[in-house]
Amino acid sequence: MKVKPMEFTRAVRPKPTLIRTTFMDLLQELTNLTKDDALVLAALKNIFDCYNVRLVRSLAPVRLVVTSQRSHGNRRAGR
């Protein structure tokens, strides 16, 4: 009797779904679902704990200054 060698096949994993959104959009959608701030924070914590969340540079701290002077356009910091 002839025996076929076993064939090993790899399981095909689906690629994870990439969701692109802003932090503010996510926060607004969560606050639209509930008015309980503790629940919103718990949901955000769960998202950051369970998923591979990447933050882009746009979340860098921003300094807001109230001034009556005219804006100088695109000045670089440190000048």
pLDDT in tens, 15-65: 777 778 888 888 899 999 998 999 999 999 998 888 888 777 665 566 666
Task: Please give the Cα distance from 73 to 38 (Å, whole number).
Answer: 40
Contact 59, 23 (CB under 8 A): yes
Instruction: Name the more confident of 67 and 48.
Output: 48
Task: Please give the Cα distance from 67 to 8 (Å, whole number).
Answer: 69
Query: Given this model, what pLDDT does residue 15 score?
Result: 77
Contact 28, 40 (CB under 8 A): no
Query: Given this model, what pLDDT does residue 3 score?
Result: 77
Query: Given this model, what pLDDT does residue 55 score?
Result: 74
